[in-house]
Amino acid sequence: MSVMGNSSEVVFLLGGLNETEASRCVFFFLGLLSYLFTVWVSLSLVVSVILEKMLHEPMYVFLCNLCLNGVYGASSFYPKLLHDLLADAHVISYAACMAQIFAVYSYVFCQFTNLTAMAYDRYVAICRPLQYRAVMTPQKVARLLLLTWSFSLLETAVGVALTCRLPICGVRIDRLFCSNWAVVRLSCADTTLNNVYGFVLMLSHVAQTALILVSYVHIVRAALRSAAGRRKFMQTCLPHLITLLNFTLSLVVDIMYARYGGGGGGGVLQNILAVEFLVVPPLINPVIYGMNLQQIRRRLARTFSRKVVFLWF
């Protein structure tokens, strides 16, 4: 296929919904319900933390950032999916595709970096409790949040810039959304630089995961020394580990599908598994933390009890 001269005029065909004609209404209803619930439960948790002064602690600030990033990631995926479920043609312009890639990948990178910051916070809280207030100051928390977002956006911007320089020689993407690797595969130019950068990013996030695991080795050792430490671990560290495990495994599934399973236009089940990292973590993270942290449960109970009384009268 010949090289397309102007990439900005390319319109990609998304083939991930080709086998859903008979059940699109069901998928639309489930997708809309999932998106609305994700936004509602995440924002409810954030508002509860803002309204409760006792929750103005570093751990809850990072939790709010995790939830807001989940809404950001879900919003990069659901609106286009819901539109395509009601449309006859599943197409996306080159500019919109690049924008979706930027949003999806910055969500992923921010999720990893925020989980790393949360692991550091729990390490200081459990392994160095007497120094916690001195170490985790509001200024340091603000710097960590700024680093989380700036580092993630910079990583994504470099990757998108490397992809935008490539000429496009095809238009079919057998996925539910635009991914960087899918677009790179459509180029007929040399993609070595993109592959090298992808490898560097992989090493970076493997290093972050290693830092989290090393932190938890120390956390578990410290927590086993006392009943209070074990209780703090169960309340604040266990949800973090569940979040990390779920996000990492779902992301690995997507990477494996993109690299090895998407060449021939996968089926519905494959496509659903490939977007699990965009659907499940934003959906269950606020639920896991909200159910496990007593302070948040109390605040939510008070908030909703007041609303019920207000609506009753």
The per-residue pLDDT for range 14-46, each reduced to its tens digit, is 877 776 666 778 888 999 999 999 999 899 889
Beta pairing partners, 180: none
Confidence bin at 295 (pLDDT 50/70/90): low
The rounded mean pLDDT for the chain is 82
Q: Does 313 score more than 60 pLDDT? A: no
pLDDT confidence band for 64 (50 / 70 / 90): very high
Alpha helices in 76-191 (DSSP H): 78-86, 94-127, 132-135, 138-164, 180-185
Residue 245 maps to a domain: yes
Lowest mean pLDDT among 142-146, 177-181, 282-286: 282-286
List the CATH number of the domain containing 238. 1.20.1070.10
pLDDT of residue 140: 95
Nearest to 168 by CA among 100, 108, 95, 102: 95
Q: Is the pLDDT of residue 74 over 90?
A: yes
* Element holding 295 (H helix, E strand): helix 294-312
Confirm whether 214 is domain-assigned: yes
Report pLDDT for 158.
95
Domain count, the chain: 1
Does the residue 74 lie in any domain? yes
> Does 231 reside within a domain?
yes
- Quick one: which H or E segment has residue 91? strand 91-93
Name the band, by pLDDT with cuts 50, 70 and 90, for residue 309.
very low
Q: For residue 147, give both structure tokens.
A: 């680093």
**Mean predicted confidence (pLDDT) in 272-300:** 74
Report pLDDT for 267: 57
Neighbours of 300 (CB within 10 A): 18
- Residue 3 forms part of a structural domain: no
C-alpha distance from residue 41 to each of 103, 229, 282, 284 (Å): 21, 29, 9, 9
Binned at pLDDT 50, 70 and 90, residue 2 comes out as very low
Q: How many helices (H) and strands (E) does the chain have?
A: 13, 3
**Residue 120's pLDDT band (boundaries 50, 70, 90)?**
very high
Task: Read off the pLDDT of each residue in 104-132 and give the average, rounded to a whole number.
Answer: 91
In which domain, by residue range, is 253 found? Answer: 9-312
Calpha distance 238→5 (Å, rounded): 52
The answer to whether the beta carbons of residues 237 and 218 sit under 8 Å apart is no
Residue 220 lies in a domain: yes
Instruction: Report yes or no on 2 lying in a domain.
Output: no
The rounded percent of the chain whose pLDDT value lies above 90 is 33
Residue 11 phi/psi, 5-degree rounding, is -120, 120
The two structure tokens encoding residue 258: 């993109």
Does the pLDDT of residue 257 top 70, yes or no? Answer: no
pLDDT (0 to 100) of residue 219: 85
C-alpha dist (Å) from residue 145 to 59, 139, 237: 12, 10, 19
CB count within 10 Å of CB 31 equals: 18
Read off the pLDDT of residues 202-217 as tens digits, 9 standing for 90 and up: 888 888 888 888 888 8
Structure confidence at residue 223 (pLDDT): 79
